[in-house]
Amino acid sequence: MKILIIGGTGKTGRHLIKQCLKKGHQVTALARKPDKLKYDDQNLQLIKGDVLKPESLEPAFKQQDAVLCALGHKRFFVKTNILSEGTKNIVRAMEHHGVRRLICITALGINDSKYRLGLYYTLFTIPLILYFYFKDKAHQESIITDSNLDWTIVRPAQFIPGRKTGRYKHGSKTGHFILTKLISRADVAHFMLQELTQERYLHQKPGISY
């Protein structure tokens, strides 16, 4: 497949690129600073672009079969719309170029998965540290669900370092109201790639954790 990866310079995005290339896909990675990606593979194309600048996105979306979005940032303590506005531009570009399949990462604890990231996140981390970030992610989800795309929203538990195991739980009931569940970025990437072909969660928002 021809796959566009957005957020490829991030920790999860790098796993997506690595696993896509290993499967033989033709990968385009869109990033503001593509020189951060030190890959040497004939199936990888690096394109400089900014999701907040719609005109910079056009070259990346041409003739793609699917988009994997691992968009993120570290501005946790300030009000921001980077994720939602960036996703709005991604959706528009996909619709313009006729790219139907979108798989996007958000997080457990958002919208109808509220409280499923455990008490520590529910009572402390989300309201005191990640409030603006999660609010933007919630808006990001609504933009995707309101689109006409063939979307899947993947909601990971708390990220931890770790290799790809292929052994994890997924679905609408994933997570826990008391305990903080965990998942590696490598396994989230593995799950997203499986969804490209299996489409078990088309127009759904599965959580994923161990």
CATH superfamily of 2-209: NAD(P)-binding Rossmann-like Domain (3.40.50.720)
Looking at residues 119-145, what average pLDDT do you find? 97
Instruction: Say whether pLDDT at 76 is over 90.
Output: no
**Domains in the chain: boundaries:** 2-209
Write phi, then psi, for 88 (nearest 5 degrees).
Answer: -60, -40
**What is the reported pLDDT for 40?**
84
Q: Which residues of 55-80 are buried (b: 16+ CB within 10 A; e: fewer)?
A: ebbeebbeebebbbbbbbeeeeeeee
Q: Under a CB-based contact definition with an 8 Å cutoff, are residues 152 and 201 in contact?
A: yes
pTM, to two decimals = 0.95
Give the rounded distance of the alpha carbon of 3 from its chain centre.
Answer: 13
**What is the reported pLDDT for 148?**
96
Q: Give residue 102's pLDDT band: very low, low, confident or very high (50, 70, 90).
A: very high
